[in-house]
Amino acid sequence: MSEITPYQIAIEQLERAARIAEIDPQAIEILKHPQRVIRVSIPVRMDNGSIKVFTGYRSQHNNALGPYKGGVRYHPNVTMDEVIALSMWMTWKVSLAGLPLGGGKGGVAVNPKELSKGELERLTRGYVRAIAPFIGPDVDVPAPDVGTDAQVMAWFLDEYEKVVRATRKGVVTSKPVELGGSLGRIYSTGYGVAVITREAVKEFLEEKSPEELTVAIQGYGNVGSYTAIFLHEMGFKIVAVSDSKGGIYSKDGLDPKKVLEHKKKTRSVVGYKEAKTITNKELLELDVDILIPAALENVITSENMKNIKAKLIVEGANGPTTPEAEEYLFKEKKSLVVPDFLANAGGVIVSFFEQVQNWTWTQWSEDEVKRRLEAQMITAFKKVVDEWNRLDKKVVLRDAAMSIAVRRVADAMKLRGWY
């Protein structure tokens, strides 16, 4: 039996939200399909003089609320099916966040680690030239994703401006600050996860203060490390963190900044003084109040769901909890999962702030960015809680969040006369 595809999962989630929110079937039929999918061939001259042709994609799912928005990933397993599903999920993420944007996603089937810097630049510029007629600050705005970064966005911007022969800083986001990037972007996802965790504690664990609550974080890359640092500043006790090589635990709590310094020196959190070594499996099953999976997808599954003890799971990563596990935790353990497209929306929110700054030729202070990000995250969280209460708390939080996101897009399509 073949494995279910990302697109099939996305369709199932959409149909479930439609039933719960009682959304017009005509709108759902439209939303099942991306408005446009672009497939391009990108010939690149390699360092040895040969020509290699790479396949790239851009899926533009829905722009009823505004220009398409979504990352570009460079990964050997990129497929059209995956990119379509990711663009659909972006539609829900920007909708739930209250942004005037639609969902898009792009990718190139390539292992960037196998390319030289020159080959990577030529690949990026070729991809930009191929999709340039279909993107722009008011049309579709890419950003980094797996395998891409601020440098790739700098090349992207430069090549696009050469194609259109005009300054268009807002064509991509998460650019270097020197080229119009936003201050605060580097930690925005982690800060958003921390804010949502704090708000979820107030709502669902209200009898306890942050100082009384223990937190375990799986993943100590950009998202996990900044989440830990900001939660620590808010008063939470971080007792365990991990990366791909293993984890560390201290019942007395860890200093996230010191752990990060250790990781930068040794390339892992493992071996940090005054903490014992644990496995990633052990971290997930620790007796803590809050668990934040911020690394990989599908880490909380039917295989370990009965061993999860945290009462609050906040998804820093994309898709770390399987639907079966989420349902089990909710019904059998009375544990709540704050879904990824709410918890980790800080990145796309600050990307939108970057668009606004580019449109208006201004740059906000870092404090201004953080203040606006916090307000936007709290507003989105409160809407989800209100919807969950409206549904008598009978469904998982993800269903309440999806209901809001899909309904907002459906309403916009209805007003435009699309159905």
Give the Cα-Cα-Cα angle 411, 412, 414 (nearest 5 degrees).
65
- Whether 70 contacts 83, CB under 8 Å: no
Residues serving a catalytic function are 105
Where residue 271 falls (left for φ over 0; alpha for ψ -120 to 50; beta otherwise) is left
| CB proximity list for 194: less than 8 A, separation 6 or greater | 226, 227, 230, 231, 234
Q: Give strand pairing partners of 74.
A: 108
Tokens encoding 193:
């996860």
Query: Cβ atoms within 10 A of the Cβ of 205, count?
Result: 17
Helix axes 222-233, 256-266, angle to 10 degrees: 150
In degrees and rounded to multiples of 5, residue 338 shows phi and psi of -85, 115
Q: Report the length, in residues, of the chain.
A: 419
Report phi then psi at 61, rounded to 5: -75, -55
Residues whose CB falls within 8 Å of the CB of residue 89, separated by 6 or more in sequence, listed in order: 10, 103, 318, 341
Ordered DSSP codes for 172-209 = SSS--GGGTPPTTGGGHHHHHHHHHHHHHHHHHSTTS-
Write out the E strands in 281-392. 290-293, 312-314, 336-338
Distance CA 88, CA 11 (A): 9
